């Protein structure tokens, strides 16, 4: 990987078509990209590009076997990416998407094995962030949406901090200013007999449980 990192500044409140298209072309070319989300900065790439996937693990110092989540731009994409989708998924996604809820489902075996881990699952999120949804739409595929940090360390909302860690290590840093950076997305696993909250984030656990109680 080149030790030169390109930096492009964006205003996520404005849809700048040329910049979004340029960033999308970077993903299509197999580049590793740091980009703003509605929570913290994400570290992303094409999830179907095995070399790019392996670079993400290397940069994060993340163990292979720990699945990487993805961002989609439309709920209809889920059936292209996941299998054995429970009816509960449709009810939960209707309630909480778009929004900061990552839903874990059984994955179709179309991803590099490193992406999925032993259980062959994939976490997906449809963000409540128009700029990001349009970017993903322009790539033509979902993008990896792991946090832009070293595994085990705190998430990052400042582009200045990001440069200290990733400048010279990634191909492109998309500087969208400070992100909201309150909490990460909540992660809900729907692959077992009962739904399981793996991580409590922006959406409180009691809000999820109240909704699940309503539809029992």
- Tens digits of per-residue pLDDT, 151-178? 999 999 999 999 999 999 999 999 999 9
- Tens digits of per-residue pLDDT, 67-96? 999 999 999 999 999 999 999 999 999 999
CB atoms inside a 10 Å sphere around CB 177: 13
Q: pTM, whole model, 2 decimals? A: 0.94
Pairing of strands 82-83, 70-71: unpaired
Establish if 1 belongs to a structural domain. Answer: no
pLDDT exceeds 90 at position 44: yes
Give the total number of structural domains in the chain. 1
Mean pLDDT score across all residues of the chain = 95
CB atoms inside a 10 Å sphere around CB 65: 12
CA distances from 170 to 34, 77, 118 (A): 7, 27, 27
Query: Which of 115-119, 123-127, 185-189, 204-208 has the weakest average pLDDT?
Result: 115-119
pLDDT exceeds 70 at position 22: yes
Residues 6 or more apart in contact with residue 87 via CB below 8 angstroms: none
Domain encompassing residue 125: 6-215
Establish if 145 belongs to a structural domain. Answer: yes
Q: Average pLDDT, stretch 190-211?
A: 95
Establish if 35 belongs to a structural domain. Answer: yes
Establish if 84 belongs to a structural domain. Answer: yes
Give 216's pLDDT tier (boundaries 50, 70, 90): low
Give 4's pLDDT tier (boundaries 50, 70, 90): confident
pLDDT exceeds 60 at position 117: yes
Q: What's the start-to-end Cα distance of the chain, in Å?
A: 50
One DSSP character per residue, 44-62 reads: E--TT-HHHHHHHHHHHTP
Residue 53 maps to which CATH number?
3.90.870.10
């Amino acid at each position: 990987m080149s030790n030169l990192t390109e930096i492009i500044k964006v205003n996520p409140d404005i849809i700048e078509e040329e910049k979004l298209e340029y960033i999308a072309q970077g993903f299509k070319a197999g580049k590793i990209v740091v980009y703003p989300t509605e929570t913290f900065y994400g570290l992303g790439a094409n999830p179907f590009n095995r070399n790019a996937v392996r670079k993400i693990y290397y940069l994060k110092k993340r163990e292979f076997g720990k699945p990487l989540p993805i961002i989609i731009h439309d709920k209809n994409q889920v059936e292209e990416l996941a299998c054995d989708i429970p009816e509960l998924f449709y009810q939960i996604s209707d309630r909480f998407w778009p929004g900061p809820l990552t839903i874990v489902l059984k994955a179709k075996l179309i991803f590099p094995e490193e992406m999925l881990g032993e259980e062959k699952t994939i976490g997906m999120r449809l963000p409540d962030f128009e700029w990001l949804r349009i970017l993903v739409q322009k790539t033509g595929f979902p993008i990896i949406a792991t946090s832009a940090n070293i595994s085990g360390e705190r998430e990052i909302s400042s582009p200045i901090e990001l440069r200290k860690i990733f400048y010279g290590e990634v191909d492109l840093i998309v500087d969208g200013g400070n992100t909201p950076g309150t909490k990460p997305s909540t992660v809900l696993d729907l692959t077992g007999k009962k739904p399981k909250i793996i991580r409590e984030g922006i959406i409180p656990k009691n809000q999820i449980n109240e909704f699940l109680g309503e539809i029992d």
